[in-house]
Amino acid sequence: MFLKKLKNNKGMSAIIYVFIMLICIYIFAFIIDMIAINQTKYLAIREAAFVARVAGRQGGFESSKPQYYDNSEPYITGPRMIQILTKAFNTKNINSWEVTVNGRSLYTNTVSNFQNDMNVRLSVSYKWGFLPKVLPMSPTGNFSVKHLVKSERFVRYEQYQE
């Protein structure tokens, strides 16, 4: 029935076919881009949870292993955590990201004592792949992942004062 109507319109069928093809291209580009962006978001959420878990377990990050930290489990320093994140984000070609603990970079010491709150925030920039080439839109976007964790590390500082 639909094809008979198209045949009777003499010339309008070509215009309708063009519009249908454009809509199909837009939908296909949107689906491809959404798959890539969702993979980026999944990676960011996974890595932010990892940073929050380690920050809570260690009581934050320091530039070197503190003397009060026991040797029964490995200590991940702030610069080492940045190396781990860089390696993970390089697998998806994500170059623009930032992680903070309590508003401070991992290159600085971010230590919290037992049961203190720590805000872990990971911000990631992503790029649309196909859709900005066919529609007038911004090719980049940003999103942040936030975690609130409590420090599990209890430090008796009086034992380690010099």
- Count of Cβ atoms closer than 10 Å to residue 64 Cβ: 11
pLDDT at 102: 83
Inter-helix orientation angle 12-58/78-90, to 10°: 160
Distance of CA 98 to CAs 40, 58, 94, 104, 105, Å?
Answer: 14, 20, 11, 10, 8
Tokens encoding 118: 């720590």
Fill in the amino acid letter for 79: P
pLDDT, tens only, 111-160: 766 777 888 999 999 888 877 777 777 788 899 999 898 887 766 555 54
Rounded average pLDDT over 81-96:
88
Handedness of CA 7, 12, 17, 19 (dihedral sign): negative
- Count Cβ neighbours within 10 Å for each residue of 129-156 and write b for 16 or more, e otherwise: ebbeeeeeeeeeeeeebebebebebebe
pLDDT, tens only, 70-84: 667 788 888 888 899
pLDDT, tens only, 11-48: 677 788 888 998 998 899 889 989 989 999 999 999 99
State the Cα–Cα distance between residues 77 and 150, nearest whole angstrom: 18
State the Cα–Cα distance between residues 143 and 2, nearest whole angstrom: 44
